[in-house]
Chain A
Amino acid sequence: KNEVEQSPQNLTAQEGEFITINCSYSVGISALHWLQQHPGGGIVSLFMLSSGKKKHGRLIATINIQEKHSSLHITASHPRDSAVYICAVRSYGGATNKLIFGTGTLLAVQP
């Protein structure tokens, strides 16, 4: 079983819809990241969370440490939001800052 699980794996939405992508993890963490990757493209960091909620434009990220769960929400989705969204956690303790990644959620927003 992967230490970081995302759902759904694939998501198709109509422009304007509210979108939720979920991430569950099984290890103790010091932080959780949401990343965006366009096909064939680089990786952009959207959020880094250790508690609560963060908002940036139409994107909202929440985390529940007790339940080991995070969600990424996109309000008023747009075709340019089409990308792979990746959840990654930094495990707690030790000398390393390495990230453990989920397998990603492929989002397609249709006009």
Chain B
Amino acid sequence: NAGVMQNPRHLVRRRGQEARLRCSPVKGHSHVYWYRQLPEEGLKFMVYLQKENIIDESGMPKERFSAEFPKEGPSILRIQQVVRGDSAAYFCASSEGTGGYEQYFGPGTRLTVT
């Protein structure tokens, strides 16, 4: 009974490179959420997706960040031209539906930008 899987667990990128973070939700879950935890700060919502649709991206920086959740395969959070301020832990969560459904969190991807 696999939970939410994220890979890679640790990612090091130089400034200006691209970072791709992957999230495989719990089997049967069609709702995915991405959250970011900056060093010494709390978790913040980034984006909420259902299969092939972005439902709420109010927490995503307007530039360089994008997310997708295709019909087949994992959800991808993509950060272009990374900067040092992007260094953070990125957590993915999934749920079976909306409303009263619980969100299950993945182990996170720790991105370090050098």
Chain A residues proximal to chain B, CB less than 8 Å: 30-31, 33, 35, 40-45, 48, 50, 86, 88, 95-104
Which of the segments B14-22, B69-77, B98-106 contacts the partner chain? B98-106
Q: Are A42 and B48 in contact (CB under 8 A)?
A: no
Tell me, yes or no, whether B61 is within 8 Å of chain A by CB: no
Q: Are B43 and A31 in contact (CB under 8 A)?
A: no
Query: When chains A and B are docked, how far (Å) is the Cα of A45 from the Cα of B101?
Result: 12
Query: When chains A and B are docked, how far (Å) is the Cα of A45 from the Cα of B95?
Result: 12
Query: What range describes how many residues of B lie at the interface?
Result: 20 to 34
Chain B residues proximal to chain A, CB less than 8 Å: 31, 33, 35, 41-45, 48, 55-56, 58-59, 91, 95, 98-108, 110
CB distance from A16 to the nearest CB of B (A): 29
Query: When chains A and B are docked, how far (Å) is the Cα of A46 from the Cα of B59?
Result: 25
Query: When chains A and B are docked, how far (Å) is the Cα of A103 from the Cα of B58?
Result: 20
Contact of A44 among B41, B43, B95, B105 (CB under 8 A): B105
Q: Are A30 and B99 in contact (CB under 8 A)?
A: yes
Which A residues are in CB contact (< 8 Å) with B95?
97
Closest to A2 in B: B42
Q: Are A96 and B56 in contact (CB under 8 A)?
A: yes
Which B residues are in CB contact (< 8 Å) with A98?
33, 45, 48, 56, 58-59
Q: Are A30 and B43 in contact (CB under 8 A)?
A: no
Known: A100-B45, A101-B44. A30 touches B100 (CB 8 A): yes
List, sorted by A's number, 23 A–B pairs whose CB atoms are closer than 8 Å. Answer: A30-B100, A33-B103, A42-B91, A42-B106, A42-B107, A43-B105, A48-B102, A86-B42, A95-B98, A96-B56, A97-B31, A97-B48, A97-B95, A97-B98, A97-B103, A99-B45, A99-B103, A100-B45, A101-B35, A102-B42, A103-B41, A103-B42, A104-B42
